[in-house]
């Protein structure tokens, strides 16, 4: 768990930096790795329910 949170933090910071400076294939890789490690944390059910609620709210 501690390693997952550490990698999540590192990929999140790198993603923010890359998004602010350039748009490249590295950005897509960092975004996918950030999502992969986010899915392994305790925040995954919260993010999933938030996105489900958003998907149900948009058509209305």
Could you report the per-residue pLDDT of 7-54, keeping only the tens digit for each?
A: 778 878 888 888 788 767 777 777 887 888 778 778 778 887 887 888
Which residues fall within 8 angstroms of residue 30, CB to CB, at 6 or more apart? 11, 14, 15, 18
Domain housing 33: 2-57
Model confidence at 1: pLDDT above 60 = no
pLDDT band at 3 (very low <50, low <70, confident <90, very high): low
* 3 vs 6, more confident: 6
pTM score, whole prediction: 0.54
Number of compact structural domains in the chain:
1
Secondary structure (3-state) at 42: coil
Q: Does 4 score more than 70 pLDDT?
A: no
CA pair distance 37, 10, nearest whole angstrom:
10
Alpha helices (H) along the chain: 2-21, 25-39, 44-57
């Amino acid at each position: 768990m501690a390693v997952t949170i550490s990698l999540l933090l590192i990929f999140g910071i790198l993603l923010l930096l890359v998004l602010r400076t350039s748009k490249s294939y590295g950005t897509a890789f960092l975004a996918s790795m950030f999502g992969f490690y986010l899915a392994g944390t305790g925040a995954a059910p919260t993010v999933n329910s938030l996105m489900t609620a958003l998907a149900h709210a948009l058509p209305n």
